[in-house]
């Protein structure tokens, strides 16, 4: 069994960790440990392990009974389906698992808290109802965004992509009842007048302010950029300079982690304490 380094195990000890590759940059340990501290869970520990897709099944199989849950980041969000004994409807619909929770019978339940993270971040930004949105990218993260938009009443989503949009993402959006449109990233600026909400699921270095072309952001726009490192991104800076509201991916990360804490411990994640820990961890890098 895999035990957390430096921890003396007792029959009360509960362990959790984030898995992925690369993993050294992850803020999840800071967020979850802050939650345990605030909740008084002194017998809980949370670590980080470098795990590639081929090694996931063996890693999970080797975990002892003290292991309560796992957070999963890239590239494991699709491979996790293979190790789960039970999969939530939401995780199956978006095609991505970011959470494994130990079941009473020793098996693992798979879920997705990224959708919750996006919807909560938007609600906190004053976006409790969405008429339409522009989503940059069409990968796995975009599918979680689409699912979140559907819970907020979104009727139409426009995907702005560099090449072809992924068919599974378009199909998912249509199943959720959304009208779907696809444009090239070079036409993003043209669509800013149609939707006040823009969500970028692309890497920070994939975009610059010049991608807005002839269009422009304004004070009525809200940008949610799922990137949290190297903030603000070039796109976020462009929106900020135009007077738009901007939300960083840290908010999504904090809320999805808070829901993971809830699923793993049964207690509600302390969002403020977790956000403060995330900001402190980012400032120290």
pLDDT mean values, one per 10 residues, the chain (285 residues): 47 89 95 98 97 97 96 94 97 96 97 97 94 93 95 95 92 95 86 88 74 67 92 89 93 98 97 98 90
Please give the pLDDT value at position 210.
57
Domains 14-112+254-283 and 115-250 share a fold: yes
C-alpha span between 128 and 151 (Å, rounded): 9
pLDDT at 159: 96
Residue 198 in tokens = 């823009």
Say which CATH architecture domain 115-250 belongs to. Answer: 3-Layer(aba) Sandwich (3.40)
Query: How high is the pLDDT of residue 1?
Result: 43
Domain boundaries, the chain: 14-112+254-283, 115-250
Per the DSSP assignment, residues forming a β-bridge with 246 are: 223
Catalytic residue among 77, 102, 221, 255: 77
Residue 276, pLDDT score: 98
pTM given for the model: 0.91
156 flagged as catalytic: no
Q: Could you tell me which residues are beta bridge partners of residue 136? A: 160, 200
Q: What is the pLDDT of residue 9?
A: 45
Range 14-112+254-283 has CATH code 3.40.50.10860? yes
- Taking the C-alpha atoms of residue 136 and residue 202, their distance in angstroms, rounded to an integer, is 6
Q: Report the C-alpha gap between 220 and 176 in whole angstroms.
A: 26
Burial 157-167 (b: 16+ CB within 10 A, else e): bbbbbeeebbe
Query: Among candidates 146, 186, 151, which has minimal Cα distance to 169?
Result: 146
């Amino acid at each position: 069994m895999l035990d957390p380094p430096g921890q003396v195990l007792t029959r009360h000890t509960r362990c959790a960790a984030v898995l992925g590759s690369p993993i050294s940059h992850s803020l999840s340990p800071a967020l979850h440990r802050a939650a345990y501290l605030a909740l008084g869970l002194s017998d809980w520990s949370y670590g980080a392990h470098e795990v590639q897709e081929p090694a996931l099944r063996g890693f999970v199989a080797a975990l002892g009974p003290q292991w309560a849950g796992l957070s999963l980041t890239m590239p494991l969000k699709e491979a996790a389906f293979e190790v789960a004994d039970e999969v939530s409807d939401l995780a199956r619909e978006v095609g991505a698992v970011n959470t494994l929770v130990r079941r009473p019978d020793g098996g693992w339940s798979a879920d997705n808290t990224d959708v919750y993270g996006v919807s909560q971040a938007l609600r906190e930004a004053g976006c409790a109802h969405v008429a339409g949105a522009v989503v940059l990218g069409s990968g796995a993260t975009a599918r979680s965004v689409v699912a979140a938009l559907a819970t907020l009443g979104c009727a139409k989503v426009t995907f702005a992509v560099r090449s072809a949009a992924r068919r599974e993402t378009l199909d998912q959006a249509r199943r959720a009842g959304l009208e779907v449109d696809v444009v090239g990233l070079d036409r993003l600026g043209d669509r800013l007048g149609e939707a006040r909400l823009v969500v970028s699921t692309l890497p920070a270095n994939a975009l610059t302010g010049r991608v807005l072309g002839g269009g422009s952001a304004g004070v009525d726009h809200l940008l949610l950029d799922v990137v949290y490192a190297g903030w603000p991104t070039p796109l976020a800076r462009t929106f900020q300079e135009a007077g738009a509201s901007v939300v960083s991916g840290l908010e999504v990360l904090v809320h999805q982690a808070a829901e993971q804490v809830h699923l793993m411990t049964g207690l509600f994640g302390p969002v403020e304490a977790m956000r403060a820990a995330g900001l402190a961890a980012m400032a120290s890098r």
